[in-house]
Structure 1
């Protein structure tokens, strides 16, 4: 159960990082334009 929970946390962390990186990239492109 703990391993499964750890996997969910890891997956959520990866998704969160990707979303933040996408937002940062989109914002950077908008500022360039």
Structure 2
């Protein structure tokens, strides 16, 4: 598992992007 307790803002930003991507995929699956 990837920890969210990263000190660098870049790592935190990439983690947020991954979460957004997964959320979008799940929303699309629910709509379809």
- Shared fold per TM-score greater than 0.5: yes
TM-score by length of 1: 0.73
In structure 2, runs of 5+ residues without a counterpart are 1-7
- What is the root-mean-square deviation of aligned Cα atoms in Å? 0.3
Kindly indicate whether structure 1 or structure 2 has the higher relative contact order, using CA contacts under 8 Å at least 6 residues apart: 2
In structure 1, runs of 5+ residues without a counterpart are 26-33
Count, aligned residues: 25
Which structure: larger Rg? 1
Moved over 6 A (4+): none
